[in-house]
Amino acid sequence: MGVDELSLIDGKVSIPEAVLHAWERVKLRLQKQMEKGGAAGKVQFYSWIHPISLSALKDGEVFLSLPTPFMCAYVRDHFGDLLHALWLEEGLGSVSGVEFYSPSSEKVNVLEVTSPEHLDEKPKEAAAISSVKIEEKRSPVNSLNPHYSFENFIVDKPNEVAHVCAKRVAEHPNSQGFNPLVLHGGVGLGKTHLMQAIGNEVSKDKTKTVEYMTADTFMYRYTNSLRAQRQNDFKEELISVDLLMIDDVQFLIGKTRTQEEFFNIFNELKSAGKQIVLTTDRSPHNQADFDDRVRSRLASGMIAALYDTTFELRLSILQAKAEDANVVFSEKVLEFLAHKITTNVRELEGAFNRLMAHATLMDRPITLEAAQDILKDMLRLHERVIGIDEIKRLVGDEWNVRLAQMNGKQRSKKIARPRQVAMYLSKVLTRHSLPEIGKKFERDHTTVMHAIRRVEQEMAEDPDFAEKVEQVQRMLKTGPSDI
């Protein structure tokens, strides 16, 4: 369908009220889900999802309009499957497809969903599980992104161990000590990229079956299988695969029956020598809210962390993206982004894509001044001033230590450790000198120096401790609304 025909649709076809309300619910649910990622998620939502308009409903297809072809491509690649799944969950028989288009171009991609009402003698919920069909030979619901590969994953110290482990699993599934492989770390550090790179590598062997899904999708499909009284079919489908990958498995916490099903599927796969790969926001050892049996299974294989990015890693990622997109940015602009956008890679890529869109639309190079203006809303999120008192309060809360004890003379490990962490974070996150930091803790600068060295040493030796410190650091960066 071309642009002219689509314009006629916009002018002549009214959209049912139920579909309009469904679109509002889809956007709201997506907003809530994205904002779980803090400031980065908010920026992503308002940059890419907020501009989408529901333009028409024609022959069962919903037309979602975006301002530019570039935005169409980006939303399709990064949010297409999720938007598609959310529309499915609305259960509208009148909607059989989702199409992205820009008024200035032909359609970008169509996501086709067979309407449940066209399936004979199948409950609505069961049909929604089994009837998803996506163009470009993507597999049902659990499609892998072909752009996620080992070749385009930028490796540096924060992610090198996770990268080595992922490559090992892709080349030798079910290696002793590597099943399951659990990748953990903060939002936007590359967990999903590495996981899907494994899937893409294994799927090159046409005799292997690969299943990728998010924890939300696992819960959704399991719940619908219960309603349709087809839970055995759901279980048989998953235990028949050679590689099962579940993203953000921490979202199973609190779902007792779903965890039970996950536990059973895990055991069946492991017994059959099938590979399992999982991602989570924290090490399984720090997931106290998981069922004990599930946590034990998660910790039974290889656990690999992805840590916060360094300036060098962020710059390398930007340089690779510029080369891949065949666009030229000055080194000053890329270094500016690498210095300013420090929260995670996803937000960094969002900033880069926004600059690239402007460069393409305006057909002129992006100067440093232009970059500052284009990204001013994102940059404001990174200009938050963090005070030492705020650091002390949050560290105290995380280690269950009163604020007054931070300044006291107690030297017990229970008190000294969080005090040292607070000193370390004060050095990392503020512009205060060592004597100024010492004054805030009623100590001299040599004590602060010792604390910083001690924390750095312990972080290098203890991944769980390093993860907790970095988690507090992320919480401080994103601000009080996300703490």
- CA distances in angstroms from 217 to 56, 111, 188, 434, listed in the order given: 27, 17, 19, 49
Model pLDDT for residues 142-199, shown as the tens digit of each residue: 468 888 999 999 999 889 999 999 999 999 998 888 999 999 998 889 999 999 999 9
**pLDDT-derived band at 102, boundaries 50, 70, 90:** low
Within-domain flag for 324: yes
pLDDT confidence of residue 78 = 78
Model pLDDT for residues 449-466, shown as the tens digit of each residue: 999 999 999 988 888 898
Q: Which of 345, 364, 381 is the last residue of a domain?
A: 381
The mean pLDDT value for 419-428 works out to 92
Report whether pLDDT(20) > 60: yes
Model pLDDT for residues 247-278, shown as the tens digit of each residue: 999 988 888 899 999 999 999 999 999 999 99
Amino acid at 100: F
Report whether pLDDT(1) > 50: no
Residue of higher predicted confidence among 182 and 444: 182
CATH number of domain containing 188 = 3.40.50.300
Within-domain flag for 239: yes
Model pLDDT for residues 309-335, shown as the tens digit of each residue: 888 999 999 999 888 878 888 899 999
Residue of higher predicted confidence among 243 and 349: 243
How many domains, in total, are found in the chain?
Answer: 4
Domain range enclosing 190: 160-306
Within-domain flag for 17: yes
Among 172-181, 330-339, 372-381, 472-481, the range scoring the smallest mean pLDDT is 472-481
- Both 367 and 429 in one domain: the answer is no
- Both 57 and 181 in one domain: the answer is no
- Both 298 and 316 in one domain: the answer is no
- Both 68 and 26 in one domain: the answer is yes
Q: Which of 381, 401, 417 is the last residue of a domain?
A: 381
- Both 436 and 476 in one domain: the answer is yes
- Both 233 and 175 in one domain: the answer is yes
pLDDT confidence of residue 93 = 54
- Both 285 and 216 in one domain: the answer is yes
Do residues 344 and 187 lie in contact, with contact meaning Cβ atoms separated by under 8 Å?
A: yes
Among 94-98, 188-192, 237-241, 426-430, the range scoring the smallest mean pLDDT is 94-98
Rounded Cα gap, residues 108 and 198, in angstroms:
27
- CA distances in angstroms from 382 to 25, 186, 196, 337, 341, listed in the order given: 30, 17, 30, 11, 7
Within-domain flag for 140: no
The mean pLDDT value for 48-68 works out to 76
- Both 116 and 177 in one domain: the answer is no
- Both 128 and 256 in one domain: the answer is no
- CA distances in angstroms from 176 to 204, 271, 274, listed in the order given: 22, 13, 12
Within-domain flag for 444: yes
Report whether pLDDT(14) > 70: no
Q: Are strands 97-101 and 53-58 parallel, antiparallel or unpaired?
A: unpaired
Q: Provide the mean pLDDT of the chain.
A: 79
% of the chain at pLDDT higher than 90 = 28
- Both 360 and 414 in one domain: the answer is no
Burial of 181 (0-12, 13-18, 19+ CB in 10 A): buried
**pLDDT-derived band at 67, boundaries 50, 70, 90:** confident
Within-domain flag for 150: no
Burial of 306 (0-12, 13-18, 19+ CB in 10 A): buried
CATH number of domain containing 355 = 1.10.8.60
CATH number of domain containing 82 = 3.30.300.180
Rounded Cα gap, residues 342 and 468, in angstroms:
18
Within-domain flag for 149: no
If phi > 0 it is left, if psi is from -120 to 50 it is alpha, else beta; for residue 3 that is alpha
SS3 content of the chain, % helix, strand, coil (to 5): 60, 10, 30
Q: Whole-structure pTM over 0.75, yes or no?
A: no
- Both 174 and 121 in one domain: the answer is no
Within-domain flag for 430: yes
DSSP H helix total and E strand total for the chain: 22, 10
- Both 377 and 433 in one domain: the answer is no
pLDDT confidence of residue 91 = 65
Q: Which of 381, 398, 417 is the last residue of a domain?
A: 381
pLDDT confidence of residue 475 = 80
